[in-house]
Amino acid sequence: MQLLFIGDSLTSGVNDAERLSWCGRICKQLDPHGNKLTGYNLGVRASSTDHIESRWESEAASRINSDIPALLIFCMGAPDAVKNIPLAQSKTSTENILRTAKKNYATLFITPPPMIDTAKDEHTKKLAAEFSKICTNLDIPYLDINSPLRNNPAYIKALKESDGVHPNSEGYGIMAGMISKFISPYILPHLS
pLDDT in tens, 156-165: 999 999 999 9
Chain centroid to Cα 29, Å, comes to: 17
Which band of pLDDT confidence, cut at 50, 70 and 90, is reported for residue 35?
Answer: very high
The total of other beta-carbon atoms located within 10 Å of residue 57's CB is 14
Secondary structure of residue 3 in the 3-state scheme: strand
Order of strands across the sheet with 38-43?
38-43, 2-7, 70-75, 106-110, 142-143
Is the CB of residue 46 less than 8 Å from the CB of residue 8? Answer: yes
Is the CB of residue 187 less than 8 Å from the CB of residue 3? Answer: yes
67-110: per-residue pLDDT in tens? Answer: 999 999 999 999 999 999 999 999 999 999 999 999 999 999 99
Angstrom distance (rounded) from CA 140 to CA 62: 23
Using CB atoms within 10 Å of the CB of residue 174, give its burial: 0 to 12 exposed, 13 to 18 middle, 19+ buried: buried
| Distinct helix (H) and strand (E) counts, the chain | 9, 5
Q: Does 149 score more than 90 pLDDT?
A: yes
Angstrom distance (rounded) from CA 145 to CA 141: 13
Q: What is the pLDDT of residue 189?
A: 96
Angstrom distance (rounded) from CA 174 to CA 99: 29
Angstrom distance (rounded) from CA 25 to CA 183: 13
Q: Which residues are paired to 95 by β-bridges?
A: none
The total of other beta-carbon atoms located within 10 Å of residue 117's CB is 15
